Amino acid sequence: MNPASNLILVGPMGAGKSCIGRRLAERYGLRLADADREIEQRTGTSVATIFECEGEAGFRARERATLAELLAGEGLLLATGGGAVLDPDNRALLRERGYVVHLHVSVDQQLERLARDRTRPLLARGDREQVLRELSEQRAPLYAQVADLRFDTGSMTAADAAAHLADELDRSWQRTAPTLGAPA
Q: Does 14 carry a binding-site annotation? A: yes
75 annotated as a binding-site residue: no
Residue 171 phi/psi, 5-degree rounding, is: -90, -30
CA 68, 74, 78, 82 torsion-angle sign: positive
Q: Annotated binding residue at 55?
A: no
On whether 147 is known to bind a ligand per the annotation, the reply is no
CA-to-CA distance for 35 and 109, rounded, in angstroms?
23
> Annotated binding residue at 98?
no
Q: Is residue 95 a known part of a binding site?
A: no
Contact call for residues 96 and 2 (beta carbons, < 8 A): no
Residue 124 assigned to a binding site: no
Residue 53 annotated as lining a ligand binding site: no
Does the annotation place 160 within a ligand binding site?
Answer: no
Residue set of the binding site for ATP = 14-19, 120
Residue set of the binding site for substrate = 36, 60, 82, 139
Residue set of the binding site = 14-19, 36, 60, 82, 120, 139
Residue set of the binding site for Mg(2+) = 18
